[in-house]
Amino acid sequence: MIRLGLNIDHVATLRQARYRHESDSAHAEPDPVPLALLAEKAGAKGITVHLREDRRHIQDHDVRRLRKQIKTVLNLEMAVTPAMVAYALKLKPEEACLVPENRQEITTEGGLDLLGSERRVANAVARLVKGGIVPSLFIDPDPGQIDAAARIGAPCIELHTGAYANARTAAAIRRELERQWAAAEQAHALGLQVNAGHGLHYRNLAPFIETVPHLHTLNIGHSIVARAVEVGMAAAVKEIVAILKAKAQVKAKARK
């Protein structure tokens, strides 16, 4: 079954809206850590955090406590900088997703441009692998980027699904699904693990997983955290896991 990685950043976004300077005090709520633990119990197979340079949501103390307390897999989203590579090597998350980082953006807006930064990214990937961390590269579903990811020696990519999520017409949605399909096929043929994420939600998830093959993990944040405000974190995670499970059951039946 495709695994769910819950991106917990937006729980911290809500906390920082009120407790910008005292996020580590006992009354600063909501606390992402117990909610991450709840999500694991409800079926999330990993917890993703993006420790941004400007610390706008997740804080260092969140990452430290998550590292100690979560039972599944910690995936650290990080910029490709020597400081963040050193941070990851010390923290030792199981996985690290290398992303572009731009101070002005509201969230990660595009994939890494590997064509302009192969050496720098290859160096970070090699250091992370040596440190026992599985790196993945957050890239657009573009053939040139996927070939570059393989050349760099990354074991894993995360396909940026933002263009699919933002597509509004039936034709645009079909076009984006075809790009994702082709990208996943290409990456799989090159021996890369295929993850995906950004903008996936309760309505666009089923068509995505029905079309795109070889998916290992989907990292989903905003839609689950938003739904958790309405129904609670455990129910919100269970609803997404049910969509993934339904797909796994259809596949298993087809194999019989």
Interaction site with ligand PXP (CB under 6 A): 7, 9, 50, 77, 97, 99, 107-108, 138, 158, 197-200, 219-223
Report the b/e string of 127-162 with b at 16+ CB within 10 A. Answer: bbeebebbbbbbbbbbeebbebbbebebbbbbbbbb
Residue nearer to ligand PXP on the CB measure, 145 or 223: 223
* Short-list 117, 179, 182, 180, CA closest to 154: 117
Beta bridge partners of 46: 5
Q: Which of 40, 77, 95, 176 is the catalytic position?
A: 77
> Is 50 a catalytic site residue?
yes
Q: Which of 10, 57, 160, 198 is the catalytic position?
A: 198
Residue nearer to ligand PXP on the CB measure, 96 or 171: 96
CB of 65 to ligand PXP, least distance (A): 19
Task: Assess contact for 148 and 118: CB atoms under 8 A.
Answer: yes
Residue nearer to ligand PXP on the CB measure, 23 or 46: 46
Pairing of strands 3-7, 46-50: parallel
CB of 106 to ligand PXP, least distance (A): 10
CB of 110 to ligand PXP, least distance (A): 10
Residue nearer to ligand PXP on the CB measure, 59 or 108: 108
> Is 198 a catalytic site residue?
yes
At 145, the amino acid letter reads Q
CB of 255 to ligand PXP, least distance (A): 29
> Is 222 a catalytic site residue?
no
What is the rounded CA–CA span in Å between residue 165 and residue 66? 29
